[in-house]
Protein backbone atom coordinates (compact mmCIF):
# COMPACT_ATOMS: atom_id res chain seq x y z
CA UNK A 1 0.00 0.00 0.00
CA UNK A 2 1.30 3.43 -0.92
CA UNK A 3 1.62 6.04 1.78
CA UNK A 4 -1.36 8.34 1.30
CA UNK A 5 -1.19 11.04 3.96
CA UNK A 6 -3.18 13.47 1.80
CA UNK A 7 -5.95 10.86 1.56
CA UNK A 8 -6.09 10.80 5.35
CA UNK A 9 -4.64 7.28 5.49
CA UNK A 10 -2.00 6.89 8.14
CA UNK A 11 1.49 7.17 6.67
CA UNK A 12 4.40 5.35 8.33
CA UNK A 13 7.22 7.29 6.71
CA UNK A 14 9.47 9.52 8.76
CA UNK A 15 7.61 8.95 12.01
CA UNK A 16 8.54 8.68 15.68
CA UNK A 17 6.27 6.11 17.26
CA UNK A 18 5.25 4.94 20.72
CA UNK A 19 5.88 1.15 20.55
CA UNK A 20 3.26 -1.28 21.90
CA UNK A 21 3.59 -2.11 25.60
CA UNK A 22 1.23 -4.35 27.55
CA UNK A 23 -0.50 -2.48 30.42
CA UNK A 24 1.55 0.68 29.74
CA UNK A 25 -0.09 1.82 26.51
CA UNK A 26 -3.61 2.48 27.71
CA UNK A 27 -5.31 5.73 26.67
CA UNK A 28 -3.60 8.14 29.15
CA UNK A 29 -0.10 7.09 28.04
CA UNK A 30 -0.98 7.27 24.37
CA UNK A 31 -2.38 10.79 24.79
CA UNK A 32 0.68 11.82 26.79
CA UNK A 33 2.98 10.58 24.01
CA UNK A 34 0.94 12.56 21.46
CA UNK A 35 1.12 15.68 23.69
CA UNK A 36 4.89 15.38 23.76
CA UNK A 37 5.29 14.91 20.00
CA UNK A 38 4.90 11.23 19.08
CA UNK A 39 3.52 10.91 15.53
CA UNK A 40 1.87 7.51 15.95
CA UNK A 41 0.88 5.62 19.11
CA UNK A 42 0.39 1.87 19.38
CA UNK A 43 -1.99 0.23 21.83
CA UNK A 44 -0.90 -2.65 24.00
CA UNK A 45 -1.38 -6.07 22.39
CA UNK A 46 -5.04 -7.10 22.53
CA UNK A 47 -5.92 -10.73 21.93
CA UNK A 48 -8.30 -11.46 19.03
CA UNK A 49 -10.66 -13.66 21.12
CA UNK A 50 -11.23 -10.79 23.52
CA UNK A 51 -11.78 -8.15 20.86
CA UNK A 52 -14.32 -10.36 19.14
CA UNK A 53 -16.27 -10.63 22.41
CA UNK A 54 -16.47 -6.83 22.70
CA UNK A 55 -19.33 -4.51 22.12
CA UNK A 56 -18.70 -0.91 21.10
CA UNK A 57 -20.15 1.78 23.28
CA UNK A 58 -19.92 5.55 22.93
CA UNK A 59 -19.36 6.93 26.40
CA UNK A 60 -21.01 10.37 26.48
CA UNK A 61 -19.67 11.19 29.92
CA UNK A 62 -16.03 10.73 29.02
CA UNK A 63 -16.36 11.49 25.31
CA UNK A 64 -14.65 8.18 24.67
CA UNK A 65 -15.43 5.04 22.69
CA UNK A 66 -15.26 1.92 24.84
CA UNK A 67 -14.93 -1.69 23.74
CA UNK A 68 -16.40 -3.76 26.51
CA UNK A 69 -15.95 -7.49 26.98
CA UNK A 70 -19.49 -8.84 27.16
CA UNK A 71 -18.41 -11.81 29.27
CA UNK A 72 -17.07 -9.81 32.24
CA UNK A 73 -17.93 -6.14 31.54
CA UNK A 74 -14.28 -5.06 31.53
CA UNK A 75 -13.11 -2.30 29.25
CA UNK A 76 -10.72 -3.93 26.80
CA UNK A 77 -9.97 -0.80 24.77
CA UNK A 78 -10.87 2.81 25.45
CA UNK A 79 -10.15 5.42 22.79
CA UNK A 80 -11.18 8.96 21.87
CA UNK A 81 -11.50 11.19 18.81
CA UNK A 82 -8.26 13.04 19.51
CA UNK A 83 -6.11 9.96 19.00
CA UNK A 84 -8.12 8.43 16.16
CA UNK A 85 -5.85 9.68 13.32
CA UNK A 86 -2.74 8.35 15.07
CA UNK A 87 -3.63 5.22 17.00
CA UNK A 88 -2.67 1.75 15.80
CA UNK A 89 -4.28 -1.20 17.53
CA UNK A 90 -2.08 -4.25 17.91
CA UNK A 91 -3.72 -7.67 17.74
CA UNK A 92 -2.36 -10.91 19.18
CA UNK A 93 -3.57 -13.76 16.97
CA UNK A 94 -2.80 -17.15 15.47
CA UNK A 95 -5.70 -17.37 13.06
CA UNK A 96 -6.54 -15.44 9.87
CA UNK A 97 -10.34 -15.46 10.25
CA UNK A 98 -10.23 -14.44 13.91
CA UNK A 99 -7.67 -11.72 13.19
CA UNK A 100 -9.86 -10.26 10.43
CA UNK A 101 -12.93 -10.42 12.66
CA UNK A 102 -11.11 -8.66 15.52
CA UNK A 103 -9.79 -5.96 13.18
CA UNK A 104 -13.34 -5.32 11.89
CA UNK A 105 -14.53 -4.74 15.47
CA UNK A 106 -12.30 -1.66 15.88
CA UNK A 107 -11.77 -0.59 12.26
CA UNK A 108 -13.86 2.57 12.38
CA UNK A 109 -12.18 3.88 15.54
CA UNK A 110 -8.46 3.44 14.82
CA UNK A 111 -5.99 4.59 12.16
CA UNK A 112 -4.24 1.26 11.67
CA UNK A 113 -4.05 -2.39 12.67
CA UNK A 114 -0.82 -4.14 13.66
CA UNK A 115 -0.26 -7.87 14.07
CA UNK A 116 2.11 -8.90 16.85
CA UNK A 117 4.74 -11.28 15.47
CA UNK A 118 7.41 -10.62 18.05
CA UNK A 119 6.14 -11.48 21.52
CA UNK A 120 8.49 -14.12 23.02
CA UNK A 121 6.34 -14.89 26.09
CA UNK A 122 5.25 -18.47 26.73
CA UNK A 123 1.63 -17.45 26.68
CA UNK A 124 2.00 -16.22 23.08
CA UNK A 125 4.30 -18.96 21.82
CA UNK A 126 2.14 -21.79 23.16
CA UNK A 127 -0.93 -20.22 21.57
CA UNK A 128 0.83 -19.95 18.20
CA UNK A 129 0.79 -16.13 18.46
CA UNK A 130 3.49 -13.45 18.59
CA UNK A 131 6.98 -14.71 17.70
CA UNK A 132 5.61 -18.22 16.99
CA UNK A 133 4.41 -16.81 13.66
CA UNK A 134 8.01 -16.10 12.60
CA UNK A 135 8.48 -19.84 12.26
CA UNK A 136 5.24 -20.32 10.30
CA UNK A 137 5.59 -17.76 7.50
CA UNK A 138 2.65 -19.17 5.53
CA UNK A 139 0.34 -18.71 8.46
CA UNK A 140 1.81 -15.26 9.18
CA UNK A 141 1.15 -14.24 5.57
CA UNK A 142 -2.36 -15.72 5.62
CA UNK A 143 -3.16 -13.63 8.71
CA UNK A 144 -1.85 -10.44 7.12
CA UNK A 145 -3.63 -11.09 3.81
CA UNK A 146 -6.91 -11.76 5.63
CA UNK A 147 -6.68 -8.54 7.62
CA UNK A 148 -5.54 -6.45 4.63
CA UNK A 149 -8.60 -7.71 2.70
CA UNK A 150 -10.98 -7.22 5.60
CA UNK A 151 -10.29 -3.60 6.52
CA UNK A 152 -9.84 -0.32 4.68
CA UNK A 153 -7.18 1.07 7.04
CA UNK A 154 -3.44 0.25 6.79
CA UNK A 155 -2.20 -3.02 8.26
CA UNK A 156 1.32 -3.58 9.63
CA UNK A 157 3.15 -6.23 11.58
CA UNK A 158 5.89 -6.07 14.20
CA UNK A 159 8.50 -8.79 14.18
CA UNK A 160 11.71 -9.87 15.89
CA UNK A 161 14.68 -10.88 13.74
CA UNK A 162 15.72 -14.48 13.04
CA UNK A 163 19.29 -15.55 13.92
CA UNK A 164 20.29 -15.33 10.24
CA UNK A 165 20.14 -12.02 8.41
CA UNK A 166 19.31 -13.49 4.97
CA UNK A 167 16.48 -15.59 6.36
CA UNK A 168 15.14 -12.50 8.11
CA UNK A 169 15.20 -10.48 4.89
CA UNK A 170 13.46 -13.32 3.00
CA UNK A 171 10.78 -13.53 5.66
CA UNK A 172 10.22 -9.78 5.51
CA UNK A 173 9.88 -9.88 1.72
CA UNK A 174 7.14 -12.51 2.05
CA UNK A 175 5.33 -10.50 4.72
CA UNK A 176 5.62 -7.30 2.66
CA UNK A 177 4.08 -9.03 -0.38
CA UNK A 178 0.76 -9.39 1.48
CA UNK A 179 0.03 -5.69 1.03
CA UNK A 180 1.01 -4.42 4.45
CA UNK A 181 1.76 -0.71 4.75
CA UNK A 182 4.92 -0.99 6.87
CA UNK A 183 6.84 -3.40 9.07
CA UNK A 184 8.20 -2.83 12.58
CA UNK A 185 11.44 -4.68 13.34
CA UNK A 186 12.83 -5.29 16.83
CA UNK A 187 16.48 -6.18 16.24
CA UNK A 188 16.65 -9.07 18.70
CA UNK A 189 15.85 -12.76 18.22
CA UNK A 190 13.18 -14.57 20.22
CA UNK A 191 15.82 -15.87 22.64
CA UNK A 192 17.60 -12.54 23.10
CA UNK A 193 16.82 -10.21 25.98
CA UNK A 194 17.24 -6.44 26.42
CA UNK A 195 20.85 -6.83 27.62
CA UNK A 196 21.80 -8.31 24.25
CA UNK A 197 22.85 -5.78 21.62
CA UNK A 198 20.19 -4.82 19.10
CA UNK A 199 21.05 -6.19 15.64
CA UNK A 200 20.88 -2.83 13.90
CA UNK A 201 22.62 -4.19 10.80
CA UNK A 202 19.76 -6.71 10.34
CA UNK A 203 17.27 -3.86 10.38
CA UNK A 204 19.40 -1.98 7.84
CA UNK A 205 19.46 -4.98 5.51
CA UNK A 206 15.67 -5.29 5.72
CA UNK A 207 15.18 -1.61 5.11
CA UNK A 208 17.40 -1.78 2.00
CA UNK A 209 15.54 -4.82 0.66
CA UNK A 210 11.93 -3.61 1.08
CA UNK A 211 9.88 -0.96 -0.71
CA UNK A 212 7.59 -0.32 2.25
CA UNK A 213 8.63 1.74 5.30
CA UNK A 214 10.59 -0.18 7.91
CA UNK A 215 10.21 0.97 11.50
CA UNK A 216 13.35 0.42 13.57
CA UNK A 217 12.88 -0.82 17.12
CA UNK A 218 15.02 -2.07 19.98
CA UNK A 219 17.20 1.01 20.43
CA UNK A 220 15.99 2.25 23.80
CA UNK A 221 19.30 1.57 25.53
CA UNK A 222 20.95 4.07 23.18
CA UNK A 223 18.06 6.54 23.11
CA UNK A 224 18.41 8.96 26.00
CA UNK A 225 17.75 12.31 24.33
CA UNK A 226 15.73 13.32 21.27
CA UNK A 227 18.78 13.54 18.98
CA UNK A 228 19.53 9.87 19.67
CA UNK A 229 16.38 8.98 17.74
CA UNK A 230 17.91 10.38 14.53
CA UNK A 231 21.15 8.48 15.24
CA UNK A 232 19.22 5.20 15.60
CA UNK A 233 17.32 5.99 12.42
CA UNK A 234 20.59 6.60 10.54
CA UNK A 235 22.33 3.48 11.83
CA UNK A 236 19.38 1.30 10.84
CA UNK A 237 18.74 3.15 7.55
CA UNK A 238 15.07 3.23 8.47
CA UNK A 239 12.28 5.52 7.62
CA UNK A 240 10.79 5.55 11.12
CA UNK A 241 11.64 4.70 14.71
CA UNK A 242 9.55 3.02 17.39
CA UNK A 243 10.39 3.52 21.10
CA UNK A 244 9.23 1.42 24.05
CA UNK A 245 11.32 1.34 27.26
CA UNK A 246 12.73 4.85 27.09
CA UNK A 247 9.19 6.19 26.66
CA UNK A 248 7.87 3.97 29.44
CA UNK A 249 10.37 5.59 31.84
CA UNK A 250 10.17 9.11 30.45
CA UNK A 251 7.51 9.79 27.86
CA UNK A 252 8.89 13.28 27.18
CA UNK A 253 11.57 11.62 25.01
CA UNK A 254 9.19 12.55 22.18
CA UNK A 255 9.73 16.27 22.85
CA UNK A 256 11.96 17.91 20.25
CA UNK A 257 13.54 20.35 22.68
CA UNK A 258 14.36 18.80 26.05
CA UNK A 259 13.01 16.15 28.37
CA UNK A 260 10.77 17.10 31.29
CA UNK A 261 11.16 16.36 34.98
CA UNK A 262 9.43 13.25 36.21
CA UNK A 263 7.01 15.14 38.48
CA UNK A 264 5.74 17.17 35.50
CA UNK A 265 5.32 14.03 33.40
CA UNK A 266 3.41 12.26 36.17
CA UNK A 267 1.09 15.24 36.63
CA UNK A 268 0.49 15.45 32.86
CA UNK A 269 -0.15 11.70 32.80
CA UNK A 270 -2.50 11.85 35.80
CA UNK A 271 -4.68 14.54 34.22
CA UNK A 272 -5.35 12.18 31.28
CA UNK A 273 -5.94 9.30 33.70
CA UNK A 274 -8.53 11.39 35.57
CA UNK A 275 -10.15 12.76 32.39
CA UNK A 276 -10.65 9.24 31.04
CA UNK A 277 -11.40 7.56 34.36
CA UNK A 278 -8.47 5.17 33.97
CA UNK A 279 -8.63 2.42 36.58
CA UNK A 280 -6.38 2.93 39.64
CA UNK A 281 -4.33 -0.31 39.33
CA UNK A 282 -3.34 0.52 35.76
CA UNK A 283 -2.58 4.15 36.61
CA UNK A 284 -0.45 3.02 39.54
CA UNK A 285 1.41 0.46 37.45
CA UNK A 286 2.33 3.05 34.81
CA UNK A 287 3.57 5.54 37.42
CA UNK A 288 5.54 2.77 39.18
CA UNK A 289 7.34 2.15 35.91
CA UNK A 290 8.22 5.83 35.68
CA UNK A 291 9.33 6.10 39.30
CA UNK A 292 11.47 2.94 39.46
CA UNK A 293 14.06 3.40 42.26
CA UNK A 294 12.44 6.60 43.44
CA UNK A 295 9.84 4.37 45.05
CA UNK A 296 12.28 4.09 47.96
CA UNK A 297 11.63 7.74 48.92
CA UNK A 298 8.93 8.79 51.46
CA UNK A 299 6.63 9.95 48.66
CA UNK A 300 7.34 6.70 46.84
CA UNK A 301 6.40 4.62 49.88
CA UNK A 302 3.12 6.49 50.40
CA UNK A 303 2.46 6.03 46.71
CA UNK A 304 2.89 2.27 47.01
CA UNK A 305 0.15 2.20 49.65
CA UNK A 306 -2.32 4.10 47.47
CA UNK A 307 -5.28 2.21 46.05
CA UNK A 308 -7.46 4.90 44.47
CA UNK A 309 -6.98 7.48 41.75
CA UNK A 310 -7.82 10.15 44.34
CA UNK A 311 -4.99 9.03 46.66
CA UNK A 312 -2.52 8.99 43.78
CA UNK A 313 -3.63 12.46 42.63
CA UNK A 314 -3.36 13.85 46.17
CA UNK A 315 0.32 12.89 46.19
CA UNK A 316 1.01 14.94 43.06
CA UNK A 317 -1.14 17.91 44.15
CA UNK A 318 -3.94 17.11 41.76
CA UNK A 319 -6.41 16.20 44.49
CA UNK A 320 -8.92 18.93 43.64
CA UNK A 321 -8.71 18.19 39.92
CA UNK A 322 -9.53 14.55 40.61
CA UNK A 323 -12.35 15.30 43.09
CA UNK A 324 -14.10 17.68 40.74
CA UNK A 325 -13.85 15.32 37.80
CA UNK A 326 -14.95 12.26 39.71
CA UNK A 327 -17.94 14.12 41.13
CA UNK A 328 -18.98 15.02 37.59
CA UNK A 329 -18.67 11.45 36.42
CA UNK A 330 -19.89 9.54 39.44
CA UNK A 331 -23.54 9.37 38.60
CA UNK A 332 -22.78 8.32 35.04
CA UNK A 333 -20.26 5.60 35.73
CA UNK A 334 -20.44 2.40 33.75
CA UNK A 335 -23.20 0.16 35.08
CA UNK A 336 -24.33 -3.40 34.47
CA UNK A 337 -27.30 -2.31 32.42
CA UNK A 338 -24.99 -0.75 29.84
CA UNK A 339 -23.61 -4.17 29.00
CA UNK A 340 -27.14 -5.47 28.52
CA UNK A 341 -27.63 -2.86 25.79
CA UNK A 342 -24.59 -4.00 23.83
C1 LIG B 1 6.87 -4.62 25.37
N2 LIG B 1 6.94 -5.02 24.04
C3 LIG B 1 5.78 -5.35 23.34
N4 LIG B 1 5.85 -5.62 22.02
C5 LIG B 1 4.71 -5.86 21.30
O6 LIG B 1 4.78 -6.06 20.10
N7 LIG B 1 3.51 -5.89 21.95
C8 LIG B 1 3.36 -5.64 23.28
O9 LIG B 1 2.25 -5.64 23.80
C10 LIG B 1 4.55 -5.40 24.03
N11 LIG B 1 4.52 -5.20 25.40
C12 LIG B 1 5.62 -4.73 26.06
C13 LIG B 1 5.53 -4.33 27.40
C14 LIG B 1 6.62 -3.75 28.03
C15 LIG B 1 6.50 -3.30 29.44
C16 LIG B 1 7.86 -3.63 27.34
C17 LIG B 1 9.06 -3.03 28.01
C18 LIG B 1 7.97 -4.08 26.04
C19 LIG B 1 8.21 -4.89 23.29
C20 LIG B 1 8.41 -3.46 22.83
O21 LIG B 1 7.38 -2.98 22.00
C22 LIG B 1 9.75 -3.31 22.07
O23 LIG B 1 9.75 -4.16 20.97
C24 LIG B 1 10.96 -3.66 22.94
O25 LIG B 1 10.86 -3.12 24.24
C26 LIG B 1 12.25 -3.12 22.29
O27 LIG B 1 12.16 -1.71 22.07
P28 LIG B 1 12.88 -0.64 23.02
O29 LIG B 1 12.38 -0.88 24.42
O30 LIG B 1 14.35 -0.91 22.92
O31 LIG B 1 12.50 0.70 22.50
pTM of the predicted protein model = 0.96
**For residue 338, what pLDDT is reported?**
57
Beta strand 75-80 pairing with 64-69: antiparallel
pLDDT band, residue 335 (cuts 50/70/90): low
Residue 75 CB neighbour total at 10 angstroms: 19
- Measured between alpha carbons, how far is 179 from 148 in angstroms, rounded to an integer? 7
Residues identified as active-site: 119
Mean pLDDT of the chain: 94
The yes/no answer to whether this complex scores an ipTM above 0.90 is yes
**For residue 336, what pLDDT is reported?**
44
**For residue 4, what pLDDT is reported?**
52
Interval 23-33 mean pLDDT: 98
Over 50: is that where the pLDDT of 96 sits? yes
DSSP state of 85: T
329 or 338: which leads in pLDDT: 329
Residue 286 CB less than 6 A away from ligand 1: no
How many Å lie between the centroid of ligand 1 and the Cα of residue 232?
17
| Residues 278-324: tens digit of each pLDDT | 999 999 999 999 998 776 788 888 999 999 999 999 999 999 999 99
Over 50: is that where the pLDDT of 1 sits? no
Residue 15 CB less than 6 A away from ligand 1: no
Report helix, strand or coil for 41. Answer: strand
How many Å lie between the centroid of ligand 1 and the Cα of residue 244?
5
Are the CB atoms for 83 and 30 separated by under 8 Å?
Answer: yes
Nearest-atom number in ligand 1 for the CA of 19 is 21
**For residue 183, what pLDDT is reported?**
98
Strand spans (E) along 25-174: 40-47, 54-59, 64-69, 75-80, 87-92, 112-117, 155-160
| Residues 181-216: tens digit of each pLDDT | 999 999 999 999 999 999 999 999 999 999 999 999
**For residue 299, what pLDDT is reported?**
80
The residue contributing the CA closest to ligand 1 atom 1 is 21
**For residue 17, what pLDDT is reported?**
99
Residue 24 CB less than 6 A away from ligand 1: yes
Residue 44 CB less than 6 A away from ligand 1: yes
Nearest-atom number in ligand 1 for the CA of 90 is 7
Strand partners, 184: 158, 215
Residue 286 CB neighbour total at 10 angstroms: 25
DSSP for 212-262, written as a single string: S-EEEE--GGG--SHHHHHHHHHHHT-SEEEE-HHHHH-GGGG-SS-PPPH
Residue 17 CB less than 6 A away from ligand 1: no
Which residue among 20, 46, 222 is best mutated to probe the pocket of ligand 1, counting the most ligand atoms within 8 A of its Cβ? 20
| Residues 145-162: tens digit of each pLDDT | 999 999 999 999 999 999
Amino acid sequence: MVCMENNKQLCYENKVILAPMVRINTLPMRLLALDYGADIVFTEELIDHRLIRCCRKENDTLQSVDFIDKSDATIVFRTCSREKPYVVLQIGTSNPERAAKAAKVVEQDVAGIDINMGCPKDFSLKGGMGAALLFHPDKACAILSAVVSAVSIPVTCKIRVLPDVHETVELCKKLAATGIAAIGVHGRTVKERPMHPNRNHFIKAISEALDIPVIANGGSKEIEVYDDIAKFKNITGCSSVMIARTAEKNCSIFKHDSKLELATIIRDYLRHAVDYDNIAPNTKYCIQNMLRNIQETEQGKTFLESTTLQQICDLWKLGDYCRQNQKKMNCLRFEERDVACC
